Amino acid sequence: MSDAPILVTGGAGFIGSTLVRHLLANSGTDRVVVVDALTYAGHLASLASVRSSPRFFFEQGDVANAAQMEAIFRRHRPRAVFHLAAESHVDRSIDGPAAFVHTNVVGTFTMLEQAQRHWSALPHDGEARQTFRFVHVSTDEVFGALESSGSFVAGSAYRPTSPYAASKAASDHFARAWKHTYGLPVVVTTCSNNYGPYQFPEKLIPLAIRKAHAGDAIPVYGRGNQVRDWLHVDDHVAALVAAWRCGEPGATYLFGGRTERTNLQVVETICDLLDERLPGDAPRRALIAHVADRPGHDFRYANDATAAEQALGWRPLIDFTSGLRATVEWFLSHESWCEEVQGATYQGQRLGLGVAA
């Protein structure tokens, strides 16, 4: 069983593909099986650098399809599961919440069921059973909004306010229930806002980069005073690996970058970086356009990662200033990737107005 692969659901998405590239670059001999439905946000283009590796395997499938997932578990018999497959954009959850229930709730339930069957069939006194882990990847949005001070901790109450956050909260509860009731060695992780290469261009940072580069209006919701803590995706996947290797089954680990910025501050910094890199006739801050706010927009999120840092020996290494500069450079030099993944389905249009539209 020691040569059994690591299974990564959602492995063709933003965080998932970063994790897959990290595992194949740093684990030496581990084989990695990617399971992804290849919806609008999952693309094999994000795995182009590793697809030729003899240690890489791809299975197209829907995590909510029990028959597909059962076949994948039987075929590969993984020694660990990183469950990242999820619908993740709040705006899209406002416009179409059913997809979020399907993938995030039913999909997580299905994965837990199949992982439980697989784990239960392993020899009770064997190393494979003792070391198996199901790493369930969640979001700080399950805790709802913070005021101007304070941070989330592992014991914070759940108060999800968007359909996305509610679906992820439900999936967290299922994951913990499978640990408590069935003994499945589940580790839950919760992260703050991620940024970095390969992020689908509907999210704030890549959308602002592309709009600013094109000279288009850059939408900022409301006054732009919503506060988020930013964590580089490379730091996040290092934390996920630490949670897999060192995490205690049943524990919850919160990851954050200790980098709080308002949305307006983030967009202004992106404009300044582009002005520095590609000077134009006028400062790009003039492109910022304040638009109608998202319905139910949470004011502030912030994770206290102290406990995770102490327990796992992990801490974020990439400061926001250099990380954002490198992210801007990446998107400027990967126009073809952006065009390929956006296709005809998304061209920077406003999402998330729901019934207000």
Known catalytic residues are 140-141, 164
Backbone angles phi, psi at 289, to 5 degrees: -125, 115
Residue type, 131: T
**309-322 b/e (C-beta count within 10 Å ≥ 16 → b):** beebebbbebebee
C-alpha 203/C-alpha 119 separation (Å) is 36
Closest CA to 253 of 344, 328, 333, 315: 315
DSSP H or E run through 220: strand 218-221
Sequence-distant (≥ 6) Cβ neighbours of residue 296 within 8 angstroms: 94, 161, 162
C-alpha 232/C-alpha 356 separation (Å) is 33
Q: Tokens 């028959």 label which residue?
A: 67
C-alpha 148/C-alpha 151 separation (Å) is 10
**Two tokens, residue 79:** 């020694």
DSSP H or E run through 177: helix 163-182
C-alpha 93/C-alpha 99 separation (Å) is 8
Q: Do residues 328 and 209 lie in contact, with contact meaning Cβ atoms separated by under 8 Å?
A: yes
Q: Which one-letter DSSP state was computed for residue 313? A: S
Backbone angles phi, psi at 266, to 5 degrees: -65, -45
Q: Do residues 63 and 103 lie in contact, with contact meaning Cβ atoms separated by under 8 Å?
A: yes
Sequence-distant (≥ 6) Cβ neighbours of residue 320 within 8 angstroms: 230, 232, 257, 259, 261
In sequence order, what DSSP letters do the residues of 107-128 get, joined into one string? Answer: HHHHHHHHHHHHHHTS-TTSHH
β-pairing, 133-139 vs 186-191, is: parallel
